[in-house]
Amino acid sequence: MRNKLIHDFLEILNKDKPAIICKNKIKTFKELGIDIRKMITVFEKNTKRDDSILVFSYPYRYDFYVSMFAGILSGRKMVIIDSFKDKKKTEYMLKEANCNYYLADKLFKNLKFKLPKNMKLILNSNYKNEIESNIYSDEAKVITYTSATTAMPKKIVRDLSFLENQIKMINNNLDYNKDSIVYGILPMYTLLSLFLGNTTIIKKNPTNIKADVIIAPIKKLLTLRKKNNNVSSVFMGGAILYKNEALKLKSLFPCSKINYIYGASEGALIYRTSLDDYIHNIFTFDCPANGIKVSIDNPNHNGIGIIKIEGETVIGNCHLTGDLGKLENNKLTILGRSNFSNIDKGLYNYLIDERIRENNPNIIAFSFKYDNEYVCVYKGKLIHKMDGIKYIKMKKIPYDIKHKTKLDYGRTIEIIKKIIKK
């Protein structure tokens, strides 16, 4: 029995509606379907069904999505790794995913990381001279990884049923016109947008995007310098958002309805709020996502504990996010990371970060509990200090490999240990 997700998408692939806009070229869903079926032929000739295929994450290139959809529709195990800068973590992820093949294009030569010799190369542009194949399967899996800010990356495995549930959830929670042109930066959200039949722009840089809707990680939007008056709706997430960053984003999209999403790799959407409400009530989200049960695990006398999520779109149906929060009047407030806050002393690192940044407008700062001390690493000129905090200035803040707006706590602690030894 063909999975409903595949069945519905194959119907969409019969349409002449624009599917992908890339480098001012438009591919219809029908043209996309032809290329996907040709790429399935490439897979059938070169791989076995149980092989794990690494796809280089160039979400702004058309061939990337042709390859991903071909793998999904034909029952392959497709692996996405967002960054290869950390060699140790990359090797760990490749080993965990047990990759046999890797798909690459001409940009692959710029990659500094050397892949294991036993992995075989498939050029993901090879489909262009192939015949179309109609071999479909329900056995596909998509493997991605968490951002690994505290330890090694965790593997997230999505089968077709799970993907279908996540698509339904996103469709039910993101309020936009289905005829809108969508710009999705992250590979998974772009895939889901196309599964829904949306005309989707793929481009690396969000500057001068002529889209109605943007679904993007905060890190990409914060790189913008020019205002965008074209966009009607923005959905963003991927990291905690501080007030000065929220104000910058509001100024960049003056004509947009901006929604800030709190989510997790293990559970997609959890809560959302409008950016205007968030600015006035920092770290608080007021709209729970449909289909997710949110609770506080083992709360203290103030109702604060680790945020717990449950539901069909949660990996394993239940997940502790590692964030400390509280629920009041159905509103969720996030206070900090459980491993790096001092609950006994009421020191929550997101709240402390915000206070330090508010008192020192020209710095980037992150605070956390470390070795019985409370530490703040910062970049810039520190003017006002808070009592009880050890401040360490850094030339370069170690960000996580995926979101690049969150602190990589593990790498930061390694640097601090070296500083202390000196």
Alpha-helical (H) ranges within 281-408 are: 349-359
Neighbours of 100 (CB within 10 A): 16
Percentage helix, strand, coil for the chain under 3-state DSSP, each rounded to 5: 30, 30, 40
Residue 267 has pLDDT above 70, yes or no: no
What integer is the mean pLDDT of 374-395? 93
Residue with the bigger pLDDT between 114 and 234: it is: 234
What integer is the mean pLDDT of 239-251? 93
What is the average pLDDT score of the chain?
88
% of the chain exceeding 90 in pLDDT? 49
Decide: residue 273, CB within 10 A, 0-12 exposed, 13-18 middle, 19+ buried: buried
At 1, is the pLDDT very low, low, confident or very high (cuts 50, 70, 90)? very low
Chain segment 188-244, per-residue pLDDT in tens: 778 888 999 999 998 877 777 888 999 888 888 888 888 988 899 999 888 899 999
Instruction: Determine the pLDDT at residue 351.
Output: 96
Beta-strand pair 331-337/318-328: antiparallel
At 56, is the pLDDT very low, low, confident or very high (cuts 50, 70, 90)? confident
What integer is the mean pLDDT of 159-177? 81
Phi, then psi, of 150 in degrees rounded to 5:
-120, -20
At 131, is the pLDDT very low, low, confident or very high (cuts 50, 70, 90)? very high
Beta-strand pair 390-393/373-380: parallel
Q: How far apart are CA 234 and CA 341, in angstroms?
A: 31
Instruction: Determine the pLDDT at residue 149.
Output: 61
At 59, is the pLDDT very low, low, confident or very high (cuts 50, 70, 90)? low
Q: Greatest CA span in the chain, whole angstroms? A: 69
Ordered structural domains, the chain, with CATH: 4-15+22-158 (3.40.50.980), 205-340 (3.40.50.12780), 349-421 (no CATH)
